[in-house]
Amino acid sequence: MALGAFERVIQLEKEIEELGKELERTGDEKTLHEYSDKLHEMDTLDGYNIHHTTEEILQGLGFTNADLQRPYKEFSGDGGCAYC
């Protein structure tokens, strides 16, 4: 369930970016309302802190700042990570 919140935040980030671009082009009021709704949902999910929280968790597990920049596939010794 916790991962579902992360997935939704990532999806919201993309939707907000797309709506922002559309809003810049059109200034459409309906788009503005949809954009505002997505921003509110992001705030409700505490989505603005998700990247920071993820970094704190990984550092707590012993990963370094340099590790956080590496592709996740590099961490699976046999390429068969069940959670990746």
3-class state of residue 56 by DSSP: helix
**Which structural domain, as residue segments, surrounds residue 35?**
2-75
Count: domains in the chain:
1
Please give the pLDDT value at position 37. 96
Determine, yes or no, domain membership for 84. Answer: no
Q: What is the CB-side half-sphere exposure of residue 70 using CA atoms within 13 A? A: 11
Is the confidence at residue 78, as pLDDT, over 70?
A: no
Of 83 and 49, the structure prediction assigns the larger pLDDT to 49
The verdict on residue 82 lying in a domain is no
In a domain, 80, yes or no: no
pLDDT at 63: 81
pLDDT digits (tens, 9 = 90+) for 7-25: 888 899 999 999 999 999 9
Q: Is residue 45 part of a domain?
A: yes
- Amino acid in position 41: E
What pLDDT, in 10s, does the model give residues 28-74?
999 999 999 999 999 998 887 887 887 888 788 888 877 777 776 67
